[in-house]
């Protein structure tokens, strides 16, 4: 059963007229196609019968959806880790191409071409990431008589290098960021160039992508070190360590333009997207159109983007990225992404187009479905990239099961693009993006309201996500004003991260009451179950005891703060006059002070939607309470609250003996990872903040620093080892030892 929720492409018709609206929009596309073809005196070419999608996750599903809609058969490829993945289930045929690591599966050109040949696929869609911008792949596909749904290998080569592309752009009259992007890689020379450009400067891998290999250098003293580290990372990720040095703009906006070209020399742009909200140089929230852009500037950007595409004889979908100085509104070419972009849906929403369909038309040899003058902006759209990660812990990626997932309801104004459903695992092998939430509104305010509401209704338990964080951003006054810059997250750190704003987190008493009533309902249910169990010899005795026990019970929960977990106690007793109701006293677990009392509360689980219904203070509340491992997660009017249940005594003993508690003396893996560097040895004295170990997980490098000064006792792993989550990597000899007398 497929549960992914993709809505048909945006139609701006009011809700309630959905089927008609969809018909109308399809009809309109056909009409336009027909007209363009006629205008060009051209026989429309048939689309492919069968295509292969060389990707996974949401983008594979996104492409298949349009293909299916057009009656095109789909072939999926998958790795051993993805046997049960949704893209495999959705495809008409699926082809196993190797083990989990992408280098042995999703990045194997030969295996993918073989799969296409065996299944008779006429074209390959590369999605984004993986092989999508690999020029050799595009060439090999073509050489195998298979159509590549994207630009030519040559266009990719020209644009694939951040330095070469800059020369091409300069020649085409497109402004580029001032800097040095030549061949000379001598560190001394590059440092001289940096001085010429003026600090701060940015070092970038010329083959770079995904924010990797980028280093900001504020001061000449740091130049050499940053250069070396950029080159190291680039070599590892892109097998090339050439870099460029450019001016680092201090208050930039990321504004990019969607372009499209066909094989007949027609070019259009589909306006711009603002992707300024980023962490680690990676986009988190994207919107279209860019807020606060004048119509004049919009048209200028569009024209420059088309000039960029023309300069390399571009065909199919591409994105020209610009960086815009928010002070003087100057914009500069940054790079061109030669593929369909992650954030393409916001453009689809505001232009009422299906860009995957456009890609298929163009690849089949048909002219662009629309002319520049027919393309109109309508309304405003936002996209959130929902990542499995922990924002309050430096956005470190998380892995694990999607134990419990609730999503907002898709509509013409709300798309949820996901490759995963409840029960699926987000694995350590691939990108931590779980899904994309896309909303459309009449204007920015309207879209933003829908965006916030949808984020509230998007509830995931099982691993950490950035959903709550995105919502906090979407509620921030500066974001609401449209004051976005790439430094937004750092700039407003104090407002966006609870822990950094100081003060401790105090759940509302009603949240604690909801948690307790859910725990109680769970207990009642389990008692009922065991009563009904005919094989349970203890049923009568123990259960009457347990039921009696439930007439008056205390639940203890603790906030999930690493530093100061705060315990709370909720005493639940049956209401004296009506035993189907309960009374609750919510107390501070340390002082015993009563924070709030609720009388005659009715609580039950709505059998239809599984939500907890409770009447607190005469207010009927519907909330989602999920019990997972030793935690209770409450989604209510205050957002998401995670509370820890006490660990049973016997488990506590076990934990201590395994050495996983008492963190002071050791450093543990924050997630499953591979050890890429170890910088310390047993016996070595270290200062607080020293780099100890460099890990690699989910395609990113993470540096583990010393939490305190001390002496390293043991290093428990070696470079190259794969380590599970929460394992000790190294241990410390107890603090700094007194120096031995000589
Ligand atoms: P965008 O400009 O759309 O944000 P990115 O450059 O961030 O594009 O990358 C798009 C997708 O490709 C992301 O999912 C990203 O994680 C993935 N990606 C980017 N660079 C690499 C890389 N070097 N290797 C593998 N995946 C990558
Ligand atoms: P990638 O290929 O990794 O996507 P980009 O060159 O597109 O690399 O840059 C990624 C992000 O880094 C941009 O969106 C922007 O936030 C930031 N950035 C890039 N160049 C500059 C610059 N010169 N000054 C300031 N920020 C920059
Ligand atoms: Mg980029």
| Closest of 580, 616, 587 to residue 599, by C-alpha | 616
**Nearest atom in ligand 1 to 256's CA:** 2
Instruction: Say how far apart CA 307 and CA 299 lie, in whole Å.
Output: 12
CB count, 10 Å around CB of 68? 14
> What's the pLDDT score for residue 659?
33
| φ, ψ (nearest 5 deg) of residue 361 | -60, -50
What 35-44 contacts at long range (C-beta under 8 Å, 24+ apart), as own/partner pairs, is 36/367, 36/368, 36/369, 36/370, 36/371, 37/366, 37/367, 40/264, 40/367, 42/264, 42/366, 42/367, 44/366
Find out whether the beta carbon of 342 lies less than 6 Å from any atom of ligand 1.
yes
Long-range contacts of 586-589 (CB under 8 A, 24+ apart): 586/509, 586/512, 586/513, 586/516, 589/556, 589/558
Residue nearest to atom 14 of ligand 2 (CA): 254
Instruction: Please name each of the domains of the chain with its CATH number.
Output: 6-150 (3.40.50.20), 178-247 (3.30.1490.20), 252-496 (3.30.470.20), 509-646 (3.30.700), 662-732 (2.40.50.100)
250 DSSP assignment: S
C-alpha 509 to ligand 3 mean position (Å): 45
Q: What is the pLDDT of residue 499?
A: 61
Per-residue model confidence (pLDDT) at position 186: 96
The reported pLDDT for the residue numbered 398 is 87
- 437 C-alpha to ligand 2 centroid (Å): 23
Q: Poorest-confidence range of 317-326, 371-380, 533-542? A: 533-542
Q: Look at residue 737 and tell me whether its pLDDT is greater than 60.
A: no
Q: Any catalytic annotation for residue 8?
A: no
Whether 323 contacts 276, CB under 8 Å: no
Say if ligand 1 is within 6 A of residue 289 CB.
no
Q: Which residues line ligand 2 (CB under 6 A)?
A: 177, 202, 204, 208-211, 246-249, 252, 254, 278, 281, 321, 323, 334-335, 486
Which of 56-60, 423-427, 506-510, 661-665 is least confident?
661-665
Q: Look at residue 714 in the predicted model and tell me its pLDDT.
A: 87
Residues 726/697, Cβ–Cβ less than 8 Å: no
- Tens digits of residue pLDDT in 145-164: 999 999 999 999 999 888 98
Q: Among 252, 257, 489, which is best to mutate for testing ligand 2, by the most ligand atoms less than 8 A from CB?
A: 252
CA 168–ligand 2 middle distance (angstroms): 18
Candidate from 18-22, 181-185, 271-275, 329-333 with smallest mean pLDDT:
18-22
- pLDDT for residue 637 is more than 60: yes
pLDDT band, very low/low/confident/very high, at 309 (cuts 50, 70, 90) = very high
Contact (CB, 8 A) for 48 and 145 = no
Task: State how far the Cα of 279 lies from the Cα of 433, in Å rounded to an integer.
Answer: 14
Res. 262: pLDDT tops 90:
yes
Please, which residues bridge with residue 622 across strands? Answer: 613
Identify which of 103, 56, 128, 140 has the alpha carbon closest to the alpha carbon of residue 236: 103
Q: How far apart are CA 600 and CA 583, in angstroms?
A: 5
Q: What is the mean pLDDT of residues 111-130?
A: 97
Rg (CA), the chain: 28
Count of positions (residues) in the chain: 742
Contacts of 165 (CB under 8 A, 6+ apart): 158, 159, 333, 335, 336
Which residue is closest in CA terms to ligand 1's atom 5? 210
Using the 8-state DSSP alphabet, how is residue 176 labeled?
B
Residue 630 scores a pLDDT above 90: no
DSSP codes of every residue in 545-582: HHHHHTTEEEEEEEE--SS---EEEEEEEEETTEEEEE
Question: Per residue in 530-539, pLDDT tens?
Answer: 777 766 655 5
HEC readout, 323-376: EEECCCCCEEEEEEECCCCCCHHHHHHHHCCCHHHHHHHHHHCCCCCCCHHHCC
Q: Which of 339, 385, 450, 520 is catalytic?
A: 339
pLDDT tens across 14-56, in order? 333 333 333 334 444 555 555 555 555 567 899 999 999 999 9
pLDDT of residue 12: 32
pLDDT digits (tens, 9 = 90+) for 570-595: 999 999 999 899 999 999 999 999 99
């Amino acid at each position: 059963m497929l549960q992914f929720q993709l809505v048909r492409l945006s139609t701006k018709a009011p809700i309630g007229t959905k089927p008609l609206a969809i018909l109308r929009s399809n009809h309109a596309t056909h009409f336009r196609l027909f007209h363009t073809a006629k205008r060009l005196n051209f026989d429309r070419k048939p689309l492919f019968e069968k295509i292969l999608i060389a990707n996974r996750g949401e983008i594979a599903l996104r492409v298949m959806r349009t293909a299916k809609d057009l009656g095109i058969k789909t072939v999926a490829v998958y790795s051993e880790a993805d046997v049960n993945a949704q893209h495999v289930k959705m495809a008409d045929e699926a082809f196993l191409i190797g083990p989990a690591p992408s280098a042995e599966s999703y990045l194997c050109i030969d295996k993918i071409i073989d799969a296409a040949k065996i299944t008779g696929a006429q074209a390959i869609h590369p999605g984004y990431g993986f092989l999508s911008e690999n020029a050799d792949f595009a060439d090999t596909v073509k050489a195998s008589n298979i159509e590549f749904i994207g630009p030519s290998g040559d266009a990719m080569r020209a644009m694939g290098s951040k330095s070469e592309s800059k020369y091409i752009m300069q020649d085409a009259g497109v402004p580029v960021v001032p800097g040095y992007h030549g061949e000379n890689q001598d560190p001394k020379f590059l440092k001289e160039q940096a001085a010429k450009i003026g600090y701060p400067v940015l070092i970038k891998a010329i083959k770079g992508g995904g924010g990797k290999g980028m280093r900001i250098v504020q001061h000449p003293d740091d130049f050499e070190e940053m250069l070396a580290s950029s080159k190291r990372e680039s070599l590892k990720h892109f097998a090339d360590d050439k870099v460029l040095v450019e001016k680092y703009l201090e208050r930039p906006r990321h504004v990019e333009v969607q372009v499209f070209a066909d094989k007949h020399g027609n070019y259009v742009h589909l306006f711009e997207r603002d992707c300024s909200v980023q962490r680690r140089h990676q986009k988190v929230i994207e919107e279209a159109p860019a807020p606060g852009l004048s119509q004049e500037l919009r048209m200028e950007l569009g024209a420059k983007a088309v000039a960029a595409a023309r300069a390399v004889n571009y065909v199919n979908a591409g994105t020209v990225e610009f960086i815009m100085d928010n002070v003087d509104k100057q914009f500069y070419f940054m790079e061109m992404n030669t593929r369909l972009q992650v954030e393409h849906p916001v453009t689809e929403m505001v232009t009422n187009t299906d860009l995957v369909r456009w890609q298929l038309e163009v690849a089949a040899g048909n002219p662009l479905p629309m002319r520049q003058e027919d393309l109109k902006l309508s309304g405003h759209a936002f996209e959130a990239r929902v990542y499995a990660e922990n924002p309050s812990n430096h956005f470190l990626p998380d892995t694990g099961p999607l134990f419990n997932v609730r999503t907002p309801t898709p509509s013409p104004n709300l798309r949820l693009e996901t490759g995963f459903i409840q029960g699926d695992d987000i694995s350590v092998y691939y990108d931590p993006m779980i899904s994309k939430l896309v909303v459309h509104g009449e204007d920015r305010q309207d879209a933003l309201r829908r965006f916030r509401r949808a984020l509230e209704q998007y509830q995931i338990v099982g691993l950490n996500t950035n959903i709550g964080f995105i919502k906090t951003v979407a509620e921030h006054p500066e974001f609401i004003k449209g004051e976005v810059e790439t430094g937004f997250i750092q700039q407003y750190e104090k407002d966006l991260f609870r822990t950094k704003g100081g003060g401790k987190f105090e759940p509302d008493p009603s949240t604690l009451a909801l948690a307790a009533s859910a725990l109680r309902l769970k207990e009642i249910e389990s008692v009922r179950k065991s009563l009904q169990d005919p094989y349970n010899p203890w049923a009568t005795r123990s259960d009457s005891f347990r039921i009696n026990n439930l007439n008056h019970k205390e639940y203890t929960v603790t906030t999930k703060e690493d530093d100061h977990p705060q315990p709370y106690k909720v005493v639940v007793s049956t209401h004296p006059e009506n035993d189907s109701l309960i009374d609750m006293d919510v107390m501070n677990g340390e002082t015993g002070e009563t924070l709030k009392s609720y009388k005659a509360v009715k609580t039950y689980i709505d059998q239809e939607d599984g939500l907890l219904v409770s009447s607190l203070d005469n207010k009927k509340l519907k909330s989602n309470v999920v019990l997972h491992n030793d935690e209770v997660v409450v989604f209510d009017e205050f957002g998401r609250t995670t509370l820890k249940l006490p660990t049973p005594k016997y488990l506590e003993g076990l934990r201590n003996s395994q050495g996983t508690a008492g963190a002071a003396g050791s450093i543990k893996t924050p997630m499953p990872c591979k050890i890429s560097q170890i910088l310390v040895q047993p016996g070595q004295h270290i200062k607080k903040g020293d780099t100890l170990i460099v890990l690699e997980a989910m395609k990113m490098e993470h540096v583990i620093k010393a939490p305190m000064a001390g002496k390293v006792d043991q290093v428990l792993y070696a470079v190259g080892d794969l380590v599970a989550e929460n394992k000790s990597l190294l241990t410390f000899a107890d603090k700094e030892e007194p120096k031995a007398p000589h």
